[in-house]
Structure 1
C-alpha cells in the first residue's frame, strides 16, 4: 500500500513542479531517494511519466494524464459534440467562439476556442479562468444554477474588474432573472473593458449547466442589435449541444 501511495504522491508532485529531478523530488516529499526512484520507474513503465533532455534525470508528466483527466471531467465528449455546432456558429457570426466549463461554481475555464477571420479580434489562452459574475459565460451558468449555489457565490463577494462590472448582489440577481427569461447572457466590458460577449448555458441530463458557449468580440464592435441577434444564435447552439449530450 505504501508503494502505491508513494507513486501517487510522486505523480502529483511531478505534475506540479515539472521538470524535476529525483533528488529534488525526494526532498520535496520527504522520502528516501531510492523510494522516489522506484516510484518514477513504476510510473514510467505505466506510461504516466517520462524523462526529458537527453542524459538529464529530470521527469515530466506524459499526455496520458491529460487524457485521463479530460475523460474524468467529460471534456472530450463535450468537445466532440460542441465543436461542430461551434463551427456553424462561427460561420454565421464570423466572431470568436468560446467553450467554457464551470469549476466548482467558482469560475469558468476556457477549454476550446474558434477564431474569427477578422483582423481585429480578442485573444484568450486555453485554460484561462473567467469570473462567473463578470463574464457572459459565467453569468449564463449562474442563471442556470440552483438558487442555493447562486447565493453561496454572492456571499463570497463580487470583485470589481471594470467600471461596468456588476458588483451589487441585488443587481446581479436582477440580471440573472433577465438571462433566464431571454435564454442568454450578455457582457459589455465587465471583466475586460475591451471584451464583450453573449453566451448561453449548455444543460446536462440533470438540467444543470455543464458548460457555456459564447460569441466574443472587441467591445467596440458589439452593438445592441448584434447582441440580440447573436444571443438568439448562441442560445440555439447551446440547446443543440445540450440535447446531443443528453441523447448520447
Structure 2
C-alpha cells in the first residue's frame, strides 16, 4: 500500500507529497477517505490538501467524486531530463527495434533499488508483459534491471542483496551469491538475460546504454521463451544502444 509512516512533525509540503504518493498503478483513482488512509493524515487535512492540489491542477475530481492525478502534474513530469533527453533520444531507435523484431522494447534507468521504465513499446505480435512506462520492477528479475545492477556501485549491490531477493517465479535467482556471479557475467559478456524469472513464458535480453564512462540506462527486448535467440537479440540491441549513447554524448557536450 502506498503512503508514508506517521510523522507528527511533517511539514505541509511533506503531507502534500504523501497525498500524491497515495496514488499508484494499482490505485489510480481514490476517494477522499482512501487518500486520508493511504497518506496517513486526518480526513480534514486530506480534504484541505486535496482541494488545494485540485485547484492547482495536480489532482482532478472525477464524476463519481473520486480523485486522479491531474493533467498539470503530468505536464510538469514531461519536463524531467529522463523524458526530454534520454527518452526522446532513444525513442526512434526503439521504434526501429520494434519494427524489426515485433518484440517488447524497453528502456529503463535505476532509481534506488528499482528499475524505472522510461518507455516501453509493444504491439500485436508482442507477448504480454508486466512492465509499463513509468512503472517500477525489481532489478534482479528483469534483463534491464540486471544490466543496471551489474554496473551499479558495489555498495548498491551489497545493499540490494542484503534486503532479500524476492522469488517471483520458480526460476527467479533468489540467492545473493548466485546473483553476484550472474552480474559478473553480465559485465563480461556485455548483456544480460532472464529466462522466465519475472513472468513464466517470457525471456528478456538487455544491454547497457553508455554515456561516456557511465551506464545511464538499459535497453532491452522481451520475447517468448520458446522464440528466444539470446545472442542474436543481443547483437540486434547493441548498435541501437551505442547510437543512443553517442547521441547523448553529443547533446551534452
Asked if Structure 1 and Structure 2 have the same fold, meaning a TM-score greater than 0.5 normalized by the shorter chain, the answer is yes
CA contact (8 A) 2:210 2:242 kept: yes
Q: Structure 2 stretches of 5 or more lacking a match?
A: 1-10, 24-28
- Residues paired across the two proteins, number: 234
Residue aligned with 1:102, SS: strand
CA contact (8 A) 2:144 2:219 kept: yes
1:31 is displaced (CA, Å) by 7.9
Quote the residue 1:154 is aligned against. Answer: 161
TM-score when normalising by structure 1:
0.77
1:15 is displaced (CA, Å) by 5.6
TM-score when normalising by structure 2:
0.76
Judging by fraction of residues, say which structure has more helix. 1
Distance 1:11 1:161 in 2: 30
Residue aligned with 1:213, SS: strand
Quote the residue 1:216 is aligned against. Answer: 222
Q: Superposition pairs for residues 163-202 of structure 1, below 5 Å? A: 163-202=170-209
> Deviation digits for residues 152-205 of structure 1, max 9, x if unmatched?
222222233333322333322222222112211111112222110110122345
CA contact (8 A) 2:19 2:50 kept: no
- The answer to whether the aligner puts 1:62 opposite 2:59 as a matched pair is no
Q: Structure 1 stretches of 5 or more lacking a match?
A: none
1:243 is displaced (CA, Å) by 2.3
Residue aligned with 1:101, SS: strand
Distance change in 2, residues 1:102/1:136 (3 Å): same
Quote the residue 1:123 is aligned against. Answer: 129
The structure that has the greater radius of gyration is 1
1:209 is displaced (CA, Å) by 3.1
- The answer to whether the aligner puts 1:101 opposite 2:104 as a matched pair is no
Residue aligned with 1:67, SS: helix
> Deviation digits for residues 40-99 of structure 1, max 9, x if unmatched?
565445433444328x5x554312212323434623432211110111112222222112
> Deviation digits for residues 2-58 of structure 1, max 9, x if unmatched?
xxx647634642562654459x86x9644867x955x5565445433444328x5x5
